[in-house]
């Protein structure tokens, strides 16, 4: 079983702000979180943000991969999610992404984790809450979920 907590993600690397347009909507990062992040347990997430369209510059898709430092994980797991930029603070970003714990190296852990949180540019961290749900038979469903938090810190490239 994998246990995940609220993570603050610190970004390692340097963000280059780009104006998003039709020409670069698949590569610009209006959210400011594209890159590698590590949580307090040593798990690493690599995220790429893709804008829905240049006309809708405050929402988009998150794709990437997650390597858990918890449990017996030995490889990356795909992740996907969404982001939106709040109207009242265009430097922050609300994020949500899901990891299904199933890959070639480890197999199916019969569980998934949903992360939801906020990136604050002034701290350059992603603060998340998560819920890990594991398969249990119907009568044991009461014990199928764990809830926690993680803070992800950016990993800056050298």
Instruction: Give percent of the chain above pLDDT 70.
Output: 78
Q: What is the pLDDT of residue 26?
A: 60
* 2-50 tens-digit pLDDT: 444 433 333 333 334 446 655 665 667 778 899 999 999 999 999 998 8
The confidence score (pLDDT) of residue 51 equals: 85
- Choice between 54 and 138, residue whose per-residue pLDDT is larger: 138
Asked whether residue 69 is assigned to any structural domain, the reply reads: yes
Distance (Å, whole) CA 65 – CA 82: 14
CATH code: domain of residue 124: 2.40.128.30
For residue range 38-47, list pLDDT tens digits in order.
Answer: 999 999 999 9
pLDDT at 21: 58
Task: Tell whether 20 is covered by a domain.
Answer: no
Residue 81 lies in a domain: yes
Residue 18 lies in a domain: no
1 occurs within a structural domain: no
Domain count of the chain? 1
In a domain, 111, yes or no: yes
pLDDT at residue 71, as a whole number: 64
Within-domain flag for 89: yes
pLDDT computed for residue 61 by the predictor: 93
In a domain, 60, yes or no: yes
**Among 25-34, 121-130, 149-158, the least confident range:** 25-34
User: What residues make up the domain containing 145?
Assistant: 6-13+25-155
Please tell me the pTM assigned to this model: 0.80
When comparing pLDDT for 133 and 69, which is higher?
133
């Amino acid at each position: 079983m994998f246990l995940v907590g609220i993570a603050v993600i610190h970004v390692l690397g340097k963000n280059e702000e780009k104006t998003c347009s039709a020409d670069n909507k698949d590569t610009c990062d209006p959210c400011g979180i594209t890159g590698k992040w590590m949580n307090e347990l040593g798990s690493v997430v690599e995220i790429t943000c893709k804008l829905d369209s240049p006309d809708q510059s405050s929402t988009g898709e998150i794709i990437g991969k997650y390597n858990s430092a918890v449990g017996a994980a030995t490889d990356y797991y795909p992740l996907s999610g969404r982001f939106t930029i709040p109207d009242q603070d265009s430097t922050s970003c609300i994020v949500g992404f899901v990891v299904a714990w199933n890959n070639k190296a480890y197999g199916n852990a019969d569980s998934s984790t949903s992360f939801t949180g906020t990136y604050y540019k002034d701290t350059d961290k992603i603060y998340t809450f998560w819920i890990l749900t594991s398969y249990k038979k119907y009568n044991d469903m009461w014990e199928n979920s764990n809830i926690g938090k993680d803070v992800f810190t950016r990993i800056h490239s050298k």
